[in-house]
Structure 1
């Protein structure tokens, strides 16, 4: 199931340098961007989406700083914060609405996984390493990861992917860097609220 997305970073490695350079230009406070120099750079307002369409299988993996989706990155302690986390999670649990997949494609979500320290998940080993080397740094940079697997009965009808609902639902998201593999090959695209659709 994850074979497509696991191969994606290697297939699009040349694009990583271009995105890292862009992230560098916009980097203000996040010195760890310089260390990582990759698509994994944590930049407020910027999300990342890996998309792979292979036959009838569509996989989407959205990664975003929690700031973009809930407005903060600390553990939710107040009722208001907990409500924002719950609302973001509820929106992420409706991928067909979030990604505006064409009804004609007949896509059905067969599995989904949401991960974030804000959802009570433990940090990745990578985050633990960062926390060890920089104190409690990972709490200041919480991420939310959403992974979706769809089966589409008519994949030929899936000619585009519209991300407008992500921008509408999470207005703090200013742009999404997309790495896409589809029938027409691979591409790296940056989408914004004003130009939120991309073609497979």
Structure 2
């Protein structure tokens, strides 16, 4: 996946993690967070009219399993989840007044068979811990209408996702929060 705005700022958010990375060069440590069922990570950057969102989640949270989809039922479940992830305006419930349009989106997971970015990482790596990565970029005609990042739709569609650890950079600076279905929004 291309890294656009997200390439730069997130090392600033967690200096302790950054220091740990200096001492541990294992590629596994470079992901957004540890693989923990029920927990996903979301990075969000609002820069001018551009909103960028990057979601990383264990496949278990979204499809209910992590093995390769072999049965027709499993394949149908993966296809349904992929279709949901391909509609980010529904998932992230951006206000219509913001006038946001999707300018790019990329999905990657071993389950989708489109995981070129992680092929190198996957060699010799057990697929029991399949991740799903979704990366979206929006252009918003009226970004001042983006008052909050509301993840209620995401929690409703994927109830096995219990917590989403959010790192957000917006006009008011950087913030981090752990959101849940009962506390699903964060102000920009």
TM over 0.5: yes
Matches within 5 A, 1:115-134: 115-122=108-115, 123-128=118-123, 131=124
Deviation at 1:125, TM superposition (A): 2.0
Moved over 3 A (4+): 35-39
Aligned residue for 2:156?
Answer: 168
TM-score (norm 2): 0.88
Task: Work out whether residues 113 and 146 of structure 1, in 8 Å CA contact, stay in contact via their aligned partners in 2.
Answer: yes
CA shift digits 1:147-196 (9 cap, x unpaired)? 00000000000010110011100010000000110000001111000000
- Alpha carbons of structure 1 residues 56 and 112: separation in structure 2 relative to 1, 3 Å: same
> Which position in structure 2 is the counterpart of 1:100?
93
Paired with 1:116 and 1:2, the residues of 2 have a C-alpha distance of 17
**Partner of residue 146, structure 2:** 158
Equivalences, count:
176
Instruction: Give distance in 1, aligned partners of 2:36 and 2:7.
Output: 23
Counterpart of 2:3 in structure 1 is 2
Q: Deviations over 1:68-122 (max 9, x none)?
A: 0000001100011011101100000000000000111100001100000000124
Structure 2: where are the runs of 5+ without partners? 19-27
TM (norm. structure 1) is 0.83
Structure richer in helix, relative to its length: 1
Superposition deviation, residue 12 in structure 1: 1.2
Look up the SS of the partner of 2:8 in the other structure: helix
CA RMSD of aligned residues (A): 1.8
Partner of 1:12: 13
The answer to whether the 8 Å contact 1:16/1:39 transfers is no
How big is each residue's C-alpha offset from its partner over 1:20-50, in whole Å with a ceiling of 9 and x where there is no partner? xxxxxxxxxxxxxxx8497421000000000
